[in-house]
Structure 1
């Protein structure tokens, strides 16, 4: 696995990230884990397995799983119209919960959207009021339900509201109780509150970059960022405004446990029927495939089908992935800004599969001789 280690270290040595952590695993064991770099560029703290990262949009997979749990318990139906649960939903009476899950509801995705608040503002931050203002401003749907795929953070805010209304619990409390706690993951490993988590890797943005020029369109850099340290601008501690679409923070190893549970035939989070539904690719009204399942993207790496989700924003970027036919999963986390789905796991996972294939060919050759 020397090639994987070199790929990981190269990201730091080339100045692409302060730190990176990578795990490759089966449902029962960790096959490989690598980490390298600095969790805090100012204090020059070496990254360890105890450091946590913002997971951003990977949180959507937890939100979707929570919705499926409620469907399995007959508390809702995926074909329910959203207005049946949220009467003030502004994007039409035929949008279903399934449409929201698959990003085919036509709900807008306002960009730029003020997406964070400082940790010292968290107690006074009113998410409901914040998103009411956003929704009132962007009431017009972008398409008819099921007509086209269009990724929407705002759509997952409504899913969070449905969870709260039907369970009588805060969204964060439901995720903690019915997903995180069921996996025996400690609150210091994964959650929504930075105060109870283990040490957090400090998010950074590359100082001399094009994205640094446009970052001011998204946030007030003077408010949310500290002075530069070399080639990096560190962020001050913050929370994501929308917990259901991007609020989770945790150790990479906690996300390993989460995916390992989904790999198991006797998953303690969902029945096999609903786990299968989670990874069923959705089709538009015209029958065209979207590449989207219930919150998970479907892809292929050298002929191997996988399901994945990336999470990125100011200061952090991550990817999680499942190869169900091979019973393998992988995760990678960076404490630097990521704005798009970079598919970094294509590089490192491909190295693993190539090495396995090479080893298998060698074994077969020896056997034939």
Structure 2
């Protein structure tokens, strides 16, 4: 096993101009086995990344939302096989769709491109997400497929799940996640939040200037509002927040996500019992018995015969991946401060060095 190959792969990502920085960690439930950091969190100020650097984690947040729903289910407050309309009377997609189908993206809800569902940090105190999503849901009020007919990823499904958590728990989504998940982890409370706590520690998000996606970006969002100055080959993003915290709002350090995954690797974790964890990590089948590649929020996969569950998070200026190998009791995380638009499964390239130990 040549772990130097991992360093070379990530260093090449920075030196070849594919990302300003990269951070990677491989760990078991008790300790970090491999860590590597390279590059800059702020190009103009020449600030290097380290384990205390925070990133926008985007859709990785969905795994916290699903965990919260299963916690409520374990406490008898939700039946995930019941209709969403049983808990949310104003649910506009009918009475057939279940909570479980929202969790595994088989509810058939639409998925409009969410790249411009953001607001600047200067607008954060006055931003009203409920008003924003009321109009989004009204414009996208038709389902795309029958319940559990097929996998069809939907951020709107997780907006609804956030509302469900609030209605059932009586707490705001952010307060519920903080109290019942983040505060149970052995981390500083500022290391995993829904706020940019310290701008000096927060990685600036970047997008490659000379790229086809940079042209496309102009059609999908207001670049003059959300993007800053050019910094070398890159154009930076101003500090911003996701409009819907339950599908993509978490901001944190790589090590805080490690603490979360290490807790999930433990037998009878403080976060969820083994019975419900198995439910969380079980791949869903359609009503015709077809594999979907999706558990409850977690994607399923296989690397060199070792099964894993994973989730990526990406959008303007940032891309990350988190992964757990339940049978190995190991996991990994990866963070870039450059735009990511799809699930790249980049961890396959790095984790493979640990698969045949």
Provide the TM-score with structure 2 as the length reference.
0.98
Kindly indicate whether residue 164 of structure 2 is the aligned counterpart of residue 153 of structure 1.
no
CA distance in 2, matches of 1:265, 1:71: 19
CA distance in 2, matches of 1:115, 1:306: 30
CA distance in 2, matches of 1:129, 1:266: 39
Which residue does the alignment assign to 1:134?
A: 136
CA distance in 2, matches of 1:294, 1:226: 37
Do the aligned partners of 1:307 and 1:321 also contact (CA within 8 Å) in 2? yes
CA-CA distance at 1:353 after TM superposition: 2.7
Which residue does the alignment assign to 2:265?
A: 263
Is the deviation greater in 17-26 or in 198-207? 198-207
Do the aligned partners of 2:60 and 2:312 also contact (CA within 8 Å) in 1? yes
| CA 139–342 in structure 1, closer or farther in 2 if over 3 Å, else same | same
Q: How does 1:231-270 map to 2 (within 5 A)?
A: 231-270=233-272
CA-CA distance at 1:198 after TM superposition: 7.1
Q: How does 1:321-340 map to 2 (within 5 A)?
A: 321-340=323-342
Which residue does the alignment assign to 1:50?
A: 52
**1:43-87 deviation line (CA, Å, top 9, x unaligned):** 111111110111100000000000000000000100111111111
Do the aligned partners of 2:115 and 2:316 also contact (CA within 8 Å) in 1? no
Match of 2:230 among 223, 228, 231: 228
CA-CA distance at 1:113 after TM superposition: 5.3
Unaligned 5+ runs, structure 1: 357-369
Do the aligned partners of 1:189 and 1:197 also contact (CA within 8 Å) in 2? no
Do the aligned partners of 1:176 and 1:191 also contact (CA within 8 Å) in 2? yes
Which residue does the alignment assign to 1:116?
A: 118
CA distance in 2, matches of 1:42, 1:296: 36
Task: Give the aligned length.
Answer: 355
Unaligned 5+ runs, structure 2: none
SS of structure 2 residue aligned to 1:270: coil
Which residue does the alignment assign to 1:144?
A: 146
Question: Greater Rg, structure 1 or structure 2?
Answer: 1
Match of 1:345 among 344, 347, 354: 347
CA distance in 1, matches of 2:277, 2:199: 29
Which residue does the alignment assign to 1:288?
A: 290
Provide the TM-score with structure 1 as the length reference.
0.94
Which residue does the alignment assign to 1:307?
A: 309
CA-CA distance at 1:187 after TM superposition: 1.9
Which residue does the alignment assign to 2:189?
A: 187
CA-CA distance at 1:111 after TM superposition: 2.2
Do the aligned partners of 2:304 and 2:355 also contact (CA within 8 Å) in 1? no
Which residue does the alignment assign to 1:366?
A: none
Which residue does the alignment assign to 2:320?
A: 318
**1:198-247 deviation line (CA, Å, top 9, x unaligned):** 71010000111011000112210000011111110010000001100000
SS of structure 2 residue aligned to 1:325: coil
Do the aligned partners of 1:11 and 1:17 also contact (CA within 8 Å) in 2? yes
Do the aligned partners of 1:112 and 1:217 also contact (CA within 8 Å) in 2? no
| CA 151–284 in structure 1, closer or farther in 2 if over 3 Å, else same | same
**1:158-206 deviation line (CA, Å, top 9, x unaligned):** 0000000011110001000000001132221101011368710100001
CA distance in 1, matches of 2:52, 2:341: 25
**1:79-118 deviation line (CA, Å, top 9, x unaligned):** 1111111111111111000000000001100125522100
Which residue does the alignment assign to 1:84?
A: 86
CA distance in 2, matches of 1:184, 1:38: 27
Measured on the aligned residues, the alpha-carbon RMSD in Å equals: 1.1
